[in-house]
């Protein structure tokens, strides 16, 4: 089990709901904007609500971008939620000219069809991959299971490397709603607001 989770506090985001969900699991967490605390933690969560441009500006002003990158590079388990997933890519149509963390190749694009933003429950379909490796259905290593999650998003990630896609969702067209590679997991939906299914996902990620 992860001993201490640092939740990156960049000045916005769904920090309280994430902490409440972790608390129900009996997992200790701390919201912090201190790069040193992030680097010292056993795992890191980057939640996200708001705009891509604001998030990236805030991370860079506080030195949190480098702390996140260093933490990931040394193998610390990382979970990005919603905008926290989008930040891992190179750029977003929401904020032209603003660079993301660039951990994954690809960009964040806007839905071109349907009601925007997508708000509400939608089905999550596992890709059958575990961190880029194909897993059998029911594999104990598989983090994602088929179920319904809660979404609030106008933009979605379009990875250049399809092998990192861990799960997809259909919103008048299929898009990647979760990615995994090594110690990195990121989801477009809000597991902390996705009922029992989301709770079980967090439970598997934390190793409880």
pLDDT of residue 140: 41
Helices (H), the chain: 15-24, 35-40, 52-61, 64-73, 83-86, 195-206
CA distance 4 to 44: 9
Q: What ranges do the domains of the chain cover?
A: 5-206
pLDDT of residue 53: 96
Q: Classify domain 5-206 at the CATH topology level.
A: Rossmann fold (3.40.50)
Residues recognised as catalytic: 82, 190, 192
Q: Which mean pLDDT values do the consecutive 10-residue runs of the chain (208 residues) have?
A: 82 87 93 96 92 96 97 97 97 97 98 93 84 48 88 97 96 96 97 96 91
Q: What does pTM read for this prediction?
A: 0.92
Residues forming a β-bridge with 187: 81, 178
Q: What percent of the chain has pLDDT over 70?
A: 92
pLDDT of residue 4: 83
Summarised one tens digit per residue, pLDDT across range 36-61 is: 999 999 999 999 888 999 999 999 99
Yes or no: say if 159 and 179 are a contact pair by the CB < 8 Å rule: yes
pLDDT of residue 11: 86
């Amino acid at each position: 089990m992860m001993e201490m989770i640092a939740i990156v506090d960049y000045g916005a985001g769904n920090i309280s709901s994430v902490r409440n969900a972790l608390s129900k699991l009996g997992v200790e967490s701390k919201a912090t904007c201190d790069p040193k605390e992030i680097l010292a933690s056993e795992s890191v969560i980057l939640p996200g609500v708001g705009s891509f441009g604001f998030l990236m500006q805030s991370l860079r002003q506080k030195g949190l971008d480098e702390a996140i990158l260093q933490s990931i590079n040394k193998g610390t388990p990382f979970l990005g939620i919603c905008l926290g997933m989008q930040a891992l890519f190179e750029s977003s149509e929401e904020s032209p000219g603003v660079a993301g963390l660039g951990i994954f190749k690809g960009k964040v694009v806007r839905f071109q069809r349907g009601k925007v933003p997508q708000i509400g429950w939608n089905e999550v379909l596992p890709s059958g991959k575990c961190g880029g490796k194909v897993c059998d259905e029911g594999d104990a290593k598989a983090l994602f299971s088929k179920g319904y999650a809660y979404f609030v998003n106008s933009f979605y990630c379009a990875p250049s490397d399809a092998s990192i896609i861990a799960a997809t969702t259909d919103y008048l067209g299929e898009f990647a709603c979760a990615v995994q590679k090594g110690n990195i997991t990121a989801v477009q939906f809000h597991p902390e607001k996705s009922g029992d299914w989301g709770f079980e996902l967090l439970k598997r990620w934390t190793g409880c």
